[in-house]
Structure 1
Amino acid sequence: MKPSLEVEFCGRLYENPLMNASGVCCMTTDDLDSMARSRSGAFITKSATSTDRAGNPEPRYVTVPLGSINSMGLPNKGIEYYLNYVLDRQKRFPSENPPFMSVAGMGIDENIKLLNIIQDSEFSGITELNLSCPNVPGKPQVAYDFELTDRTLKSVFQFFTKPLGVKLPPFFDFAHFDDMASILNKYPLAYVNCINSVGNGLYIDVEKESVVIKPKDGFGGIGGEYIKPTALANVRAFYTRLNENIKIIGTGGIRTGQDAFEHLLCGATMLQIGTELQNEGTGIFERINTELLQILEQKGYQSIEDFRGKLHSIT
């Protein structure tokens, strides 16, 4: 019997666990339509602000040997643009799972405003609140301020009743895993997304003796192969600390079916792909699904749930 890649997530069944990471192949309706036609199990919109943003000056995204560096500055077309798109898809394709919606305010007040717009709409899908925007000059990441994160979620869940997940930056200390998990466990979150890019890296062009992106004097978020070990560590750390009803989306360094398998083994239920999707295009989803199925067949697994989260420690 051929294995299945189906996953259940927030009460919905998805053909496979693969998605785009918000920021890649999701800026325009054409991008989103290409995701809808792909072999991804789901897809998510660009992180939206209240109105459209041009983002940071170019060059702001560069592919480098083991991944990417970017300082995009949250370019997007505004909440109404993406909300209109997902509501239209809901109406035209009522039997399909709606796309995920991503929002990222510049502060707690804007986050509340954005989520109120979604709460008051007919959107019936899953929303992702991005608490980890490392590439907006002058703006700190909300999730590195634990008190602000707690205050934000407390305010949000006073009115927001639809499925909500949060996207987190990487954490590097066990005490921070513990402290953040204790905050997240207080709220009826649907999931956490681990991780956003590793903030404020620097890549140098030796020939030019120069940085490679313009914003922030060359400092930017690192993605791709560079960050897979950090992403896996964060997936595992939160999988073992969060309440069972809070699922994990694994993001970071997924290029192959083996990378996907590792994220799932650490406890992720769904997976988002960013840098490699940017490099390869939407055909990546069919390739990784095929490779992941081959791994399941080789190991004798019939489903992802046969091994998800069952990472062994050395005793």
Structure 2
Amino acid sequence: MSKRDFFKKIWSMCYLSTGGALAYGGLSIYNNNEKFYGDVLMPLIRYIDPETSHNLAVKALKYELIPKSKYVDDPVLKTSFFGKELSNPIGIAAGFDKQGEAVSGLKKIGFGIVEIGSVTPEPQSGNPKPRVFRLSEDEAIINRYGFNSSGHTQVLQNLEKIDAEKWHDSILGVNLGKNKDSLDATEDYIKGLKLFSTVADYLVINISSPNTAGLRELQKKDHLYQFLKGIVSARNSMETEKKPLLLLKLSPDLSNDEKNDIVNILNKKECKIDGLIISNTTLQRSNLTSTEFVEETGGLSGKPLKDISTNMIRDMYKLTKGKVPIIGVGGVSSGRDAFEKILAGATVVQLYSSFAYEGPPIVSRIKSELSECLLNDGYTCVNDAVGKEIATGNKKSGFFRFF
């Protein structure tokens, strides 16, 4: 065999191997193969800078390169939320699709709730890079994005492209933020309230991000009353047949006194909102295995936040006597995690960090596991399980007694 023929054969083998690997990868993605994602694709993605991989994931969903989920939601997952019947209670939290680019793609892979943002009135670049860090040993993320946003006008244009008729069994939320250099936070949120009320099912007042200086101070009772009063007044004065739903997103780092103060303010008619999102990222760094990046400033999300957020859901459900709907978010990576939050008082549940670590197959897996948890405990729908941990006085009821 000549040298030329030898190298020709080597080239052919490489060509066939590469083609076969690409074909296998494409087929695995098409079939939403969880093992392929877990063993091959996601470990490879972790070699890419986390912000770059985040942006690539958004683009893949924007252009609907990720195939539609083949999972059919079990009837037990049907959830009534703000008068709308959802096919499932699992949502993607704000922070993933910041500009409202990938909404349709996220719905296609199985989310029942898509929340975009945070969106600021004027475009801003956010904090300097690097600003996202993986804590792989803890399946956690630290971010200090700082409300990087395309601004109200661009995000509204993105959302106006959505086919609203396809959203009969799911809901869209817009998470609102303030510009870093804004002199009037209340006015920033009112602008968002008025602009997005026609395209969103609910709007989120996000005053709990740790990455915008002074933002969390708005949660303090000295500021919160006047702040919410102004926003609620603006909402109530809108000349629309249906007033937009307002939810308040809270920090998991609040003290018991601060939680009580917030509930006392929410009980006032002039500050009455429609729901809570519990919780945002935490500044706590306890019980972490990872040593790299733990000193980075920013909010921590992922598995270490799970119990912190669930405990806060339990506290706020009890303090509000179950009268204020709660979206539970923080550390959800399994159906069991979602079930815990529902039993603690959440009507629906969101995830983000676990999606970043495990990819699209996690959506179907969580729904399947949650369905099993509900049926094993004798529930016929999600709403029947909401807050049952409080009602029965058990921190772990039914299915969880065996763990």
TMscore range, shorter length: 0.7 to 0.9
Distance across 1 between alignment mates of 2:108 and 2:315: 34
Instruction: Decide whether the 8 Å contact of 2:87 with 2:169 is kept in 1.
Output: no
1:130 to 206, 224, 233: 206
Which letter maps to 2:230? Answer: S
SS at match of 1:40: coil
Q: Assess, with a 3 A threshold, how the Cα gap between structure 1 residues 230 and 88 changes in structure 2: closer, same or farther.
A: same
Deviations 1:135-161 (Å, cap 9, x if unpaired)? 12x334144422212111100111213
Instruction: Decide whether the 8 Å contact of 1:169 with 1:194 is kept in 2.
Output: yes
Which letter maps to 2:393? Answer: S
Distance across 1 between alignment mates of 2:170 and 2:363: 17
Distance across 1 between alignment mates of 2:215 and 2:200: 31
Distance across 2 between alignment mates of 1:264 and 1:41: 15
Distance across 2 between alignment mates of 1:39 and 1:253: 19
Q: Does 1:81 align with 2:154?
A: yes
Q: Does 1:151 align with 2:226?
A: yes
Distance across 1 between alignment mates of 2:382 and 2:164: 31
SS at match of 1:112: helix
Residue segments in structure 1 that go unaligned for 5+ positions in a row: none
Which letter maps to 2:360? Answer: T
Q: Does 1:197 align with 2:267?
A: no
> TM-score normalized by structure 2?
0.69
Residue 178 of structure 1 is matched in structure 2 by: 260
Give the drift of 1:74: 1.1
1:20 to 78, 85, 92: 92
Q: Assess, with a 3 A threshold, how the Cα gap between structure 1 residues 51 and 172 changes in structure 2: closer, same or farther.
A: closer
Q: Assess, with a 3 A threshold, how the Cα gap between structure 1 residues 143 and 264 changes in structure 2: closer, same or farther.
A: farther
Residue 313 of structure 1 is matched in structure 2 by: 393
Which letter maps to 2:293? Answer: V
Distance across 2 between alignment mates of 1:224 and 1:298: 27
1:168 to 250, 269, 292: 250
Q: Assess, with a 3 A threshold, how the Cα gap between structure 1 residues 57 and 124 changes in structure 2: closer, same or farther.
A: closer
Give the drift of 1:110: 1.6
Q: Assess, with a 3 A threshold, how the Cα gap between structure 1 residues 118 and 305 changes in structure 2: closer, same or farther.
A: closer
Give the drift of 1:42: 1.3
Give the drift of 1:252: 0.6
Residue 50 of structure 2 is matched in structure 1 by: none
Structure with the higher fraction of residues in helix conformation: 2
Q: Assess, with a 3 A threshold, how the Cα gap between structure 1 residues 124 and 111 changes in structure 2: closer, same or farther.
A: closer
Instruction: Decide whether the 8 Å contact of 1:197 with 1:252 is kept in 2.
Output: yes
SS at match of 1:223: strand
Which letter maps to 1:222? Answer: L
Alignment of 1:1-315 (within 5 A): 4-24=76-96, 26-64=97-135, 65-66=137-138, 67-89=140-162, 91=164, 93=166, 95=168, 97-106=170-179, 107-119=185-197, 122-123=198-199, 125-136=201-212, 138-160=213-235, 161-186=243-268, 187-199=271-283, 201=285, 212=293, 218-242=296-320, 244-311=322-389, 312-313=392-393
Give the drift of 1:244: 4.5
Q: RMSD of the alignment, in Å?
A: 2.5
Deviations 1:102-132 (Å, cap 9, x if unpaired)? 111142232222223235xx33521111111
Deviations 1:236-283 (Å, cap 9, x if unpaired)? 111112264420000111000100000000010011102111212232
* Matched positions, count: 303
Distance across 1 between alignment mates of 2:165 and 2:154: 17
Which letter maps to 1:40? Answer: F
Distance across 1 between alignment mates of 2:283 and 2:146: 13
Give the drift of 1:287: 0.9
Which of 30-39 and 99-108 deviates more? Answer: 30-39
Residue segments in structure 2 that go unaligned for 5+ positions in a row: 1-73, 180-184, 236-242, 396-403
Q: Name the % identity.
A: 24
Deviations 1:168-209 (Å, cap 9, x if unpaired)? 111443222211111122233121000000036598985xxx
